Structure 1
Amino acid sequence: MAIGGERVAGAASTVEDMNTVPSGEIIEKAVQLAGRAPSLHNSQPWLWVFDGATLQLFAVRERSLPNTDSSGRQLIIGCGIALGHLRAALAAAGWRAEADRFPDPNRHDHLATVRFAEAQIVTDADRDRADAIRRRHTDRLPFAAPANWDRFEVVLRSIIDPAFAMISVLSEDSRPDLARASRLTADLRRYDSGYQAELHWWTGHVVGSTGIPASALTAAAEQEKVPVGRRMPAPAAAARHTEETADHSVVVALSTDTDGVEDVLRCGEALSTVLLESTVAGYATCPLTHLTEYDRSRAIIRELIGGTAQPQVLARIGAAPADRAAPEPTPRLPLSEILRRQ
């Protein structure tokens, strides 16, 4: 009887688990959408493992860029963005996702374990944010000023949990200092052969569905219009877009109390929200990671935001001209390379 009772209990538990875990199809679609997250040079340094009850997120160190991202913070931020995108995709499918971050102190590459609960309702906001994942892309061209920014800023601040990141909107007066930090980074990197090798390996062509294709790069004249942007290899072709003579984007900085890996992962999740909500609002976006790669340029950003917080990442937000054609989507790794089943 005891054995029989255990079998019945086990069967009941199995049925209950089936009711509290998304189907395999939902998991696959959510992971595929999460794979649209931006990452350093489109390196896509994440791997998801589904064990039938939880979804686990791992960092793939083989896709790191050690010369560009010597601290590993950008790898963690990219994985955090993917985690934020995953939660947005699941919410639109009717599931809430709770993440237990760094659950195994002996496995530093195990970033999170995600558990599920059925949502009571799927809101229009849930659907809009998931749809924004498909539309969002990194736009390195200059932007016009974002319309109705004051109203949007209030909304943005209300949905960014301060426990995940502190958001600072940098004033127009800060632009010369931001440009100075960007130039300083470029000057320091100019003779860094390891950095230059990584930059040219990952940009201008596609390497196994990773990297930035040439079609996503901007000409030298276009880069000059965005003095806060990373200096990238420029195509030989002339500038393709001349509608904006200067960049008038709003620049926001996301900061954390510490550089601890959990703080950095949460910051990536917050950046996911910033990028997707900006896309929902009709704005164009471009993450800026180079400004925090070097201690000296990072110190300039820290001074601009004030206080003792650690700046992790910045982003430009603005309006792209209505007739600016969206570039071809950058390549993404196939599902088989970012999702495994146990």
Structure 2
Amino acid sequence: MTATSSGIDVHTLEEAVRRATRAPSIHNTQPWRWRVEPGRIELHADADRRLVATDPDGRDLLVSCGAALEYLRVALAGVGAGSTTQRFPDPEQRDHLATVTVVDGHTMLDDENLYAQLDRRRSDRRPYDAGAPAQLVRALARRARALGADLVAVEGQARDRLIRALDDAATGQPHRPGYLAELLAWTHRYAGARDGVPATAVPKAGPGGDARHLQRFPTGSLPHRTALGPDAGTLCVVTTAGDDRLDRLRAGEAVAAVLLAATAAGYATCPLSQALELTTTRTRVQAAAGAIGYPQLLLRIGRPAENCGPVPETPRRAVSHLLF
């Protein structure tokens, strides 16, 4: 094994990449590639895995890669490695999103504590029995701000307007050319595939009263206690001051930090991107959140229903297939 200047060998860096791939991504496409060298790791976007119809402006891809970048930082902290991150280091290589360099020095204890959540976090698409308390939301918002984004909880009548925007996106997006083909491709993967959204990660169909914004994917086999709605989870919008590629990448980093911290606190989470993939509903999300900045992703946070069981682990590609 080759050791770095900080004593972290390349095998350990590759293991950190493996844990980083547990990050959430749009349709579990895992749209990233990595280069591991002594003392550094490069993150690259995999443009071949961009969902052209679902994600026409590439927002979802960059947010997904940003989440993997934050997972990587936490994974390194978990093995006692400090790190620095240079985002978009080479303007001539648009797909080279970041270079993470291992440095000497102590890591933040809190980051080390989040290390245990990397393999525990799941996207729980079932309805929640209760939302997140205000104290937790404030703590999660502080984490988002530390990474260059804001987390805005939407409540009251604004929450009703936000749900209507989510439902309208769920109704309108299937009419976009190519959208249903992409959805089918990533929810009905070929045998042995290590990506996509399996039926075991999607709730069964409930009786009446289902909420459309909770039903992006075809009916699955994940058991739940009640119908898919109404949902009592807290709806939050992750926003950034700008809307360029760096803003979207940093939003993904903030999303990952929030999801890991919420998991550590015992709460279920689920990212919601559908309303931000259509221009008409994206502006309504911004208005409902009262946000001055730009919405990059929605998060649902809450207490899962009792006696409905855990969400199974979703598949991930082998690291050997992701390395340059």
TM-score of the superposed pair, with normalisation by structure 2 = 0.92
Correspondence for 2:43:
57
Distance 2:242 2:24 in 1: 23
Correspondence for 2:202:
217
Report the more deviating stretch, 304-313 or 19-28. 19-28
> How many angstroms does 1:96 deviate by?
1.7
Distance 2:104 2:249 in 1: 24
Distance 2:251 2:97 in 1: 13
TM-score of the superposed pair, with normalisation by structure 1 = 0.87
Contact 2:40/2:99 (CA < 8 Å) preserved in 1?
yes
Correspondence for 1:301:
285
What amino acid maps onto 1:47 in structure 2?
A: R
Deviations 1:146-203 (A, max 9, x none): 46x1221232222222661111111132232122112221232232340000001101
Relative distance call for 1:223 and 1:204 in structure 2 (3 A) is farther
Distance 2:108 2:274 in 1: 37
Write out aligned runs for 1:292-331 (5 A): 292-331=276-315
Higher helix share: 1
Q: Select which of 196, 206, 218 maps to 1:233.
A: 218
Distance 1:157 1:223 in 2: 35
Distance 1:47 1:206 in 2: 21
What amino acid maps onto 2:123 in structure 1?
A: T
Distance 2:129 2:249 in 1: 31
Percent identity of equivalent pairs:
34
CA root-mean-square deviation: 2.2
Contact 2:173/2:278 (CA < 8 Å) preserved in 1?
no
Distance 1:291 1:162 in 2: 25
Correspondence for 1:45:
31
Distance 2:52 2:171 in 1: 19
Distance 1:223 1:234 in 2: 14
Count of residue pairs the alignment pairs up: 321
**2:4 counterpart of 1:18:** yes
Relative distance call for 1:223 and 1:284 in structure 2 (3 A) is farther
What amino acid maps onto 1:292 in structure 2?
A: L
Q: Which runs of 5+ in 2 are unaligned?
A: none
> How many angstroms does 1:209 deviate by?
0.9
SS of structure 1 residue aligned to 2:230:
coil
Misfit runs of 4+, over 3 Å: 204-207, 222-228
What amino acid maps onto 1:126 in structure 2?
A: D
> How many angstroms does 1:243 deviate by?
4.3
What amino acid maps onto 2:35 in structure 1?
A: V
Correspondence for 2:156:
172
> How many angstroms does 1:215 deviate by?
1.2
What amino acid maps onto 1:241 in structure 2?
A: H
